[in-house]
Each structure stands twice: as structure tokens, then as C-alpha cells.
Amino acid sequence: MKVRISFISISVLVLVCSILGFQTNLISEAAASNSRAKAKNVIFMIPDGFSPAYAANYRLYKGEPSVMDSMLVGMVRTYSADSALTDSAAAATAMATGYKTNNGMIGRTPDGIERKTILEAAREQGKAIGLVATSSITDATPAAFSSHVFSRKDESDIAQQQLQLADVLLGGGKLFFLPETMGGKQSSRNLLEEAKQRGYRVVENRAQLESASGNQVLGLFADGDMAPELDREHTNEPSLKEMTGKAIDILRRGKDGFFLLVEGSQIDSAGHYNDAAWAMKDTESFEEAVGLARKFAEEDGNTLVVIAGDHDTGGMTVGGYDQTDAKLEVLRQVHASGLYMTKELKNDRSNVKEVLKAYAGIDVTTEEEIAIINAADAMQAINHVISKRSLVGWHTYLHTGVDVPLYAFGPGSELFRGLHNNTDLPHLVSRAMNIDFGDEKYKK
Ligand SMILES: [Zn+2]
């Protein structure tokens, strides 16, 4: 009997051990495959000014979850070195270099020292580099990934540095690439001409972008910022999705992979104007670019897509005005920005009713009409009427300090789970890419 028990015990022990061993094998194989999983390509996307309230309002506007929703992995803290409320320069410097800096500074710490960006580290690995934005390409967010200046206003300096780093640059800001003698800003150099001589194909509208060939393309589609998506039909500008698609088509030809930065710049602009329809439409435009990037990543299998806002703009709320609902569907009838509608007003603003009916699908009340006619700023008044009717609340024309959502998809995306500081992001990206970004804390 004793022998039998021992035999059974041993048998059970062997069985347990073999199950455990099998599971251990499974776990170690999964861990090994995770540690082997390497992002050859990175598409880093920044919806400037986007907060959880934008995400929630956009879901109501769209009527279903967004493409981003299924990729949510965490949140990001946004404060800068000198303020609880960051600007885009300090936020993007943190996300690009891993260092906090003062508002307004680009690619440098408050002591003035230049800090390497994740884009520069990727370049050192032989990766092709792309920058896409709907603001000037020299604006703070793309600038902080690709240049080092003391002030975000030094946009011609930024342009010169960007041309040393990036193979593809698509956005606005043509005036910072032209000399003052040709109507340009800040410089005597003709960077457009220099770019052509160095082999860039230079394009200035949607059709030219579509047909552009070559491995280096400089696309400047507006003198300054590009148009809001709501007003783009009145221009020859490409959409964010079209620019993102073209950039991927060009960059993917490189054998060592690529790093593409894409900014949905106009979400922030909408927030600064408290323009709810513009905010939702540019979020939709950003989502379309995300959808394209994600599809590429799904098919490619070696591409990490990371989406991180840099800060909230406007202190948007879902609902407000002492009402107990939200009416985002009102915004689907709006077909122009407040900026555009204001330009359509006569000098005496006698056509407020006609303009709001034509572009916003709204029959304004006499009270609303009088408020717009008498307002110190007609655009703010128009945006207020539309925000109030859609029950989208705003708290400021500036940024706020709330945490913003973080999304990731593809190899290494599991690294991004949780609450991060914005300075963590380049280190997590470098881990996913398996490249050295010089911080022990993040080494495997
Ligand atoms: Zn801003």
C-alpha cells in the first residue's frame, strides 16, 4: 500500500511537473517572441490638443467608436519644465528627446543644451525619415522632433535643420522656405531652391503630390498653416490621410525601415478658437490617417503605430450649459469653420442669418443674431452659438493640464500600457525598435 501511494504520488508529481514545465515553455516562448518582436517602422501620430473629452465627443459625433478607441493603452502626463500647462514646443520636445523643457523651447533643455531626438536616433540606424503636419511643417510639434532652437518662432532655422534630417516633409509653411526678397519670412536663403538642388521633388498642391516620384519629397501646400478640414474643399490642399499615405509609400522603399511623424495640427487650432465643428471634423480627418496607418501596420507586421496627444486645448467638456445631454449631431450639419463663416459676413454683419443657415444649417434666433452682430469678436460669437447648440462646453482659449490618451498598435505596443510621463515615450519607442536611446532605466 505504501509503495502504491508513493507510486501514485510520484506519478502525480511527474504529471504536475510536466504540465508546469509545458506552461513554463509556453510562457518563455511567448516572452522570447515578444522580446524578439521588433518594430522596423514607426508611425508616431500626434493629435495636437486632443483630450479624453475630444475622444468622447468624437464618438458621439461619429455615432460609433473611433479607430483610435480599439488601440487605447494608457494615459500621458503633459506638464512642462516651467508650467503645469505645457505648450506644444515643450510637450513635443519631451516626447522627442525624453527631457522636459520650458514652454517655447525646441529640442533643447532649459539650460540650452541640445538633446538628441528619437527621429535623429532612428536616422542613425539608417531609417528613412518623414514629417507630416497640417500646420506649418516648421510649427512646434514637427519642429521639436527634427530641430534644436531656443524659440519655436525661429521657423526658418527650423526649416533648414529639417531639410538636413527628413526625406519627406509635407505640410504648410512655404514662407519659411523662401527668402524675404520673394515674400518669405526670416531668411535670405531660398530653401525651396536648395532642396531642389539636393534632389527633393518640390510639390505645392494635391495633384502634384499624388504624382510625385522619387525618394525625397518636399510638399508645402500653404504659406502658413493649411486649411481646416471643414474648409479644405475651397483649396488645392491634400488631406492628412493623403499626405500620410504618400509619405508611407515613399518611406517604405528604404530597406532599413522608416520613422514617420504625423501631426493632426488643426485639432489644437480648433480648440484655441473654441470651434466645436472644426474640432470634430479635424478629429475625423486625423482618424482617417490613423485608419490608413493601422491598415499598413496590419499588413506589414513590422510597424509600430503610436498615437499620443501633447496636451488638451480649450478645456472641452462633453455637455454643459446646465443641460443634461449632448447633441453632437448638430455639428454634422456644419460645413465651414467659424473662421470661414466670419469672412463671409458683410461689414455690418447684416447677413448673419443667411450665413449661419448656409454653412451651419442653423436658423439663428433673434437673440443669437444680435449677439453675433454686437460681439467684439464675431467668430467667437458664432462658435459660441454652435457650441451651445451642440452642448460642447469650453473652459478657456488656451491649453489645460489634463492627462491625454495614449494609443498603440503593432510590435512593442504592450510596452505603452499604463500612465506615462511624456518623457517616457521616446524611450518606449526606442525599446520597441531595439535601438539605443541612452537611458539605463529603459534598457532590457
Ligand atoms: Zn495650442
How far is 29 from 24, CA to CA, in rounded Å? Answer: 8
Task: Report CA(80)–ligand 1 centroid distance (Å).
Answer: 14
Q: Tens digits of per-residue pLDDT, 429-440? A: 999 999 989 865
User: In one letter, which amino acid is 246?
Assistant: K
| Binding-site entries for Zn(2+) | 48, 268, 272, 310-311, 399
pLDDT at 351 > cutoff 90: yes
Give the domains, in start order, of the chain with CATH numbers. 41-315+397-442 (3.40.720.10), 327-390 (no CATH)
| Model pLDDT, residue 141 | 97
* Residue 21 binned pLDDT confidence (cut-offs 50, 70, 90): very low
Task: Report CA(381)–ligand 1 centroid distance (Å).
Answer: 20
Task: Report CA(400)–ligand 1 centroid distance (Å).
Answer: 10
How far is 297 from 295, CA to CA, in rounded Å? Answer: 5
Q: Tens digits of per-residue pLDDT, 144-194? A: 999 999 999 999 999 999 999 999 999 999 999 999 999 999 889 999 999
Strands 317-318 and 217-220: unpaired
Task: Report CA(62)–ligand 1 centroid distance (Å).
Answer: 24
| Binding-site entries | 48, 139, 141, 263, 268, 272, 310-311, 399
Strands 312-313 and 399-400: antiparallel
How far is 101 from 106, CA to CA, in rounded Å? Answer: 8
Average pLDDT, the chain: 93
pLDDT at 289 > cutoff 80: yes
Task: Report CA(425)–ligand 1 centroid distance (Å).
Answer: 20
| Model pLDDT, residue 438 | 80
18 is catalytic: no
Q: Mean per-residue pLDDT for 357-365?
A: 98
pLDDT at 1 > cutoff 90: no
Catalytic one of 66, 88, 135, 430: 88
| Model pLDDT, residue 13 | 46
| Model pLDDT, residue 439 | 65
Cα atoms in the 13 Å half-sphere on the side-chain side of 107: 24
| Model pLDDT, residue 177 | 97
| CA terminus-to-terminus distance, the chain | 53
Q: How many residues does the chain have?
A: 444
Least confident stretch, 36-45, 95-104, 141-150, 329-338: 36-45
Task: Report CA(88)–ligand 1 centroid distance (Å).
Answer: 6
Q: What is the side-by-side strand order in the sheet with 201-203?
A: 201-203, 217-220, 168-172, 128-136, 258-264, 41-47, 303-308, 404-409, 72-77, 418-421
Task: Report CA(269)–ligand 1 centroid distance (Å).
Answer: 6
Q: List the beta bridge partners of residue 406.
A: 74, 308
| Model pLDDT, residue 442 | 57
Q: Mean per-residue pLDDT for 229-234?
A: 98
CA distances from residue 299 to 190, 244, 328, 398 in whole angstroms, order as listed? 40, 16, 34, 40
| Binding-site entries for Mg(2+) | 48, 139, 141, 263
How far is 27 from 180, CA to CA, in rounded Å? Answer: 63
Contacting residues for 288 by C-beta, under 8 A, at least 6 apart? 239, 240, 241
- CB neighbour burial string for 193-217, b if at least 16 within 10 angstroms, e if fewer: eebeeeebbbbbebebbeebeeebb
